[in-house]
Amino acid sequence: MTRLFLWAKTRIRRYTDEKIIPYIFTLADGPLLFRDLLKTNKMYQDGLKLEGKIPGFKMSVGRSYIVFIIIWHLIVLPTSAIFHKTLIKIDCHLLIIMAVLFTGMFFATYAIFKEYLLDTVALKIIKSAWENHFPHFDYDLHAKEVAKIYSDALEKEIPHKNMQLYIMERLISAST
């Protein structure tokens, strides 16, 4: 059973990466600047909201609603077909209350869906920029460390032109 869930999870993630994200987002061809990478990585590591703060992509809200409505219907329609006989017998006042609750759930889950997509694209952009600026350091191992070093550099008021050298020296000294 665990293998089935793992298989489904990887298929959904691959479908999201290959089909949904390119449909909803327009990604820039150019690489992310070093200072933008540091700032975005720090915000991502701190768990801050990234919408509108990452250069290099544009989200089509209309397309995201289309995709979400399709996903929503893939879940709701089979469920309502299963419980159709029960729903027929329910009082209309209760159905009105259920309609209001489902509408609220729709917009609440859309917000969750949108945040998930934004975090996924942000991580994709950060990792591609990481390969460009930090080719010898693995993102998963050093991302938090770079965010901490960047915070220290901002506190010490190190100029942006010296920032890359400062961070590289600190990373190398921490690795050895």
Res. 118: pLDDT tops 80: yes
Give residue 66's pLDDT: 95
Instruction: Please provide the DSSP assignment of 115-164 as one string.
Output: HHHHHHHHHHHHHHHHHHH-TTS-HHHHHHHHHHHHHHHHHTT--HHHHH
Give residue 93's pLDDT: 83
- pTM of the shown model: 0.79
Binned at pLDDT 50, 70 and 90, residue 68 comes out as: very high
Binned at pLDDT 50, 70 and 90, residue 109 comes out as: very high
Instruction: Write the pLDDT tens digit of every residue in 73-84.
Output: 998 889 888 988
* Higher local confidence (pLDDT), 163 or 110: 110
Cα–Cα distance, 58 to 89 (Å, whole number): 47
Q: How many CA atoms lie within 13 A of 111 on its CB side?
A: 6
Under a CB-based contact definition with an 8 Å cutoff, are residues 44 and 32 in contact? no
Binned at pLDDT 50, 70 and 90, residue 63 comes out as: very high
